[in-house]
Amino acid sequence: MSDAISTGRTGEFFSAYVLETYGIEVHHVDRSAADLWCRVGTQLRTVQVKTASCPRTTGRGRQPKYIYHTLPIEVDWYCFVAMDRQLLLLKPASTVVTKSTSFLPEEFNEANQRRTIEDFLKSC
């Protein structure tokens, strides 16, 4: 298994674990572009997980960022994982409109993780 596939798979299982701690029923599916199916009550949401092992610099003098490839696919939510920080952020797919999505390292924190999971729960 390639490093990228291994990193991605690790992020999927990590995301499932974290979401389940919030009472979300999670199924790892890896089909039809979705990595996870998440059920809250009677609502089902599809989630595409994107994982980065660490932030990287895209040019000289630029601040390191977590960078994710986000080509248009049919899912309800994206889950962005920063493996080195063991944190995630969720965003509705409708707000992810570029081929690449990036976050500064400081955006991955416990408060933002909790807030984005709560936003996910409110959508259900």
Domains along the chain with CATH numbers = 3-56+63-122 (3.40.1350.10)
Q: How confident is the model at residue 28 (pLDDT cuts 50, 70, 90)?
A: very high
Can you give the pLDDT at residue 71? 86
- Write down the pTM of the prediction: 0.94
List the Cα angle 92/70/96 in 5-degree steps: 30
The DSSP secondary structure of 77-124, one letter per residue, reads EEEEEETTTTEEEEEEGGG--SSEEEE-GGG-SHHHHHHHHHHHHHT-
Residue 68 has pLDDT above 90, yes or no: yes
| Residue 33 per-residue DSSP state | T
Please give the pLDDT value at position 72. 84
Mean pLDDT computed over 35-55? 96
Burial of residue 74, with CB atoms counted within 10 A of its CB: 0-12 exposed, 13-18 middle, 19 or more buried: exposed
The total of other beta-carbon atoms located within 10 Å of residue 39's CB is 13
Q: For 73-121, what is each residue's pLDDT tens digit?
A: 899 999 999 999 999 999 999 999 999 999 999 999 999 999 999 999 9
